[in-house]
Amino acid sequence: MTDINPSLEEELATKIVRACAAYDRGKPIMSDELFDDLVNKLHSVNPNNKIFGKPFGGEHLLSLDNTRFTEWYRGKRKNTELVIEPKIDGVALGISYQNGKLFRAYTRSGRDVTRYAKKVADIPLEVPRSGRFIVRGELYAYNESTPNSQRVAAAQLRKVRPDCHLLSFIAFEIINSQNDHLDNLKTLIDYRFSVIPFKIAHTADEVIKYHNDWLDGWFMNYLPTDGIVAKVNSRKIQKELGQSNRCPLWALALKR
């Protein structure tokens, strides 16, 4: 077992925290690739660093792995059903409901943005659900392209009087659900959320084609995106694949 290097761990964690703060302000100080590299390095130094823990106010919003697709796909069962979605360039939000009422909204860092979420037109204030129900999605500026979409959304979340009519929320996950991914998307539609559009793939070649379509500007180009996401549909297989403390092993982001 490799000994933990405290000074390196602190240096990496400090850079990540600083990058997250800048990202939340809508003024990123590094590329997604560099940020992912820092996270990967910190995880290799100490996978139990507190950065990977739960944020205040809700369930941890996991990041997506971005290893090479061929490595990720290797070992998957033949004809495993994959859901292919656009990767929206915005601010990740968790929307928590308690007994049907919107209770709390929070960012990946755990910042409470409930008062802003209640002003976004396509975030329902109520859902027909008892107990705790948490939806994950992306807040973005629908009239902006990448990367301005994320910057505008982050900027509005800092304003005393935000212009929330500039923003949209697109839902793509029910956190801690035990149902298949497609069933969850149907539930979100039934609950009046704007839901991520998707395609279905059963082979690596199909996923690669969708990624090439995105690279060429053809894949769902009416949305601000910085890649596509491949997700295993079956909840049973998702459980078998599991997750690390920073990303699910059943989903992968494909970027440039």
What digits encode the pLDDT tens for the residues 77-99? 888 999 999 999 999 999 999 99
Number of separate domains in the chain = 2
Name the percent of the chain lying above pLDDT 70: 88
Is residue 59 assigned to a domain? no
Fill in the amino acid letter for 104. Answer: R
Q: Is 116 within the bounds of a domain?
A: yes
Q: What is the pLDDT of residue 108?
A: 83
CA distance 192 to 31: 34
Within 8 A by CB and 6+ apart from 141, the residues are 90, 148, 149, 152, 153, 156, 166, 167, 168, 224
pLDDT category at 62 given cuts 50, 70, 90 is low
| Mean pLDDT in residue range 188-199 | 97
9 pLDDT band, cuts 50/70/90, is: confident
| 219 or 109, higher pLDDT | 219
Which residue, 100, 105, 228, is CA-closest to 167? 105
Q: Report pLDDT for 50.
A: 73
Distance, in Å, from the CA atom of 216 to the CA atom of 118, rounded to the nearest integer, reads 36
Do 100 and 19 lie in one domain? The reply is: no
Q: Same domain, yes or no, for 19 and 113?
A: no
- For the chain, the average pLDDT equals 87
Q: Verify that 48 and 169 share a domain, yes or no.
A: no
Per-residue pLDDT band for 57 (boundaries 50, 70, 90) equals: very low
Q: Is 104 left (phi over 0), alpha (psi -120 to 50) or beta?
A: beta
**Does 131 lie in the same domain as 197?**
yes
Q: Are residues 19 and 108 in the same domain?
A: no
pLDDT at residue 56 greater than cutoff 50: no
Q: Taking residues 207-219, report their average pLDDT.
A: 94
Average pLDDT over residues 194-203: 96
> Are residue 117 and residue 42 in the same domain, yes or no?
no
DSSP 120: S
Domain contains 167: yes
Residue type, 211: H
Domain CATH number, residue 198 = 3.30.470.30
For residue 231, give the H/E element and its range.
strand 225-232
What digits encode the pLDDT tens for the residues 173-187?
A: 999 899 999 999 999
- Predicted confidence (pLDDT) at residue 40 exceeds the cutoff of 50: yes
Statement: residue 110 has pLDDT above 70: yes
**Percentage helix, strand, coil for the chain under 3-state DSSP, each rounded to 5:** 35, 25, 45
Ramachandran angles phi, psi of 210, nearest 5°: -60, -40
Q: Do 115 and 216 have their domain in common? A: yes
75 and 35 co-located in one domain: no
pLDDT of residue 52: 63
- Is the pLDDT higher at 68 or at 218? 218
Stronger pLDDT, 229 or 63, i.e. the higher one: 229
Residues 30 and 101 in one domain: no
Residue 193 reports pLDDT greater than 90: yes
Q: What is residue 61's predicted lDDT score, i.e. its pLDDT?
A: 57
Would the pLDDT of 58 be above 60? Answer: no
The pair of structure tokens assigned to 232 is 């295993």
In 130-165, which positions are buried (b, 16+ CB within 10 angstroms) versus exposed (e)?
Answer: eeebbbbbbbbbbebebbbbbbbbbbbbeeeebebe
pLDDT at 30: 81
Mean pLDDT, rounded, for 28-48: 77
Q: Are residues 93 and 145 in the same domain?
A: yes
Q: Is residue 64 part of a domain?
A: no
**Which amino acid appears at position 166 of this protein?**
L
Query: Same structural domain for residues 92 and 214?
Result: yes
The answer to the question of residue 25 being in a domain is yes
Tell whether 1 is covered by a domain: no
Residue 47 domain-assigned (yes or no): yes
Q: Is the pTM of this model over 0.85?
A: no
**Containing domain of residue 241, as a range?**
69-254
Domain identity same for 79 and 46: no
Query: Distance between CA 214 and CA 228 in Å, rounded?
Result: 7
Q: Report pLDDT for 66.
A: 55
